[in-house]
Structure 1
Amino acid sequence: MTVSIIVAIGENHAIGKNNQLLWHMPNDLKHFKDITSGRTIIMGRKTFDSVGKPLPRRRNIVVTRQDIIIPGCEVVKSIEDGLALCKNEDEVFIGGGAEIYKLAMHLTDRIYLTIIHKSFDADTFFPGIDKSEWKEVKREDFELDEKNPLPYSFITLERQ
């Protein structure tokens, strides 16, 4: 099973503020949907709360220490517990937030990284990527357009 992080970050590694995304980039949302549809996504409870409902056409697993039931989701106590439920899948996605990314980094084989080419005022950040452990295998760069107000890049990294 390949464990893949999927994340969009600002140039300063910003991913959110007040449990909300910092930008509206339709092409990044489409990219996320295209990559994760029909797959399993593991996310933390705060990320689930920010989305507000299970992501459609995906198996949703929520990691939380709380003893709760979330309709339409499977709830687990750890990332490892979530991954154990997915042992027969070819690729599983880690969808945030910051603490989940940090805890999952050592388990991760691939990172689907969107960089929004701007620094943001944020309170939540993606952990650093040790460039000696990762190699860039794909990159697409885009300029701003009428729907996407900032330049951005889609980058795929694989563990070396």
Structure 2
Amino acid sequence: MGGTGNGMAAWVPLAIFGAVMLWRFRNLEKARPLRLPLLWIMPLIVTAVVCFALSAMMPTPPGWASLAAGFVVGGGIGMQRSRLMRLHVEGEGGDARVMVRQSPLALLLIVGVVMVRKLVLPGGMAIGSGHPAATAMLVTDAMLGFALGVVLVSRLVLWQRARAMVAAHVTDS
């Protein structure tokens, strides 16, 4: 009786993700200011959320390994995503500011990550031959580490690139 409701519920996050990606692709060519003093806010929020989640249920040693592996993979993807973004400096002297444009490849990278995740975990989190709850916790820990890695490393790389560009006043589109 409740089978169709569960099927629809699985598609809602994908529909929201698709709508957000379409909106982001619409604004690809629009450069926006990269506010360097504010780049630390999102990493702080994500770190607080991950710490709160971990404090609610402390990971086991395999959970910590899963978290670390997720962080490494997420960090690699975050680094690559930030390297794909196009930065340039507008203005001169004290009026100079770094502008950022989203790269189509950077957005496709995020779409690819979501698709791979959907392929790897097609039936939800109960994967493998182990206990479904333990497997779900390992996957949750890995996803927390992944999100943390993407955000922290992405913002760090953007900050480093922008700071170097302002110092040298160069463009690297």
- Shorter-chain TM-score range: under 0.3
TM-score when normalising by structure 1: 0.23
**Structure whose CA Rg is larger:** 2
Whichever structure has more helix as a proportion of its residues is 2
TM-score when normalising by structure 2: 0.22
Whichever structure has more strand as a proportion of its residues is 1
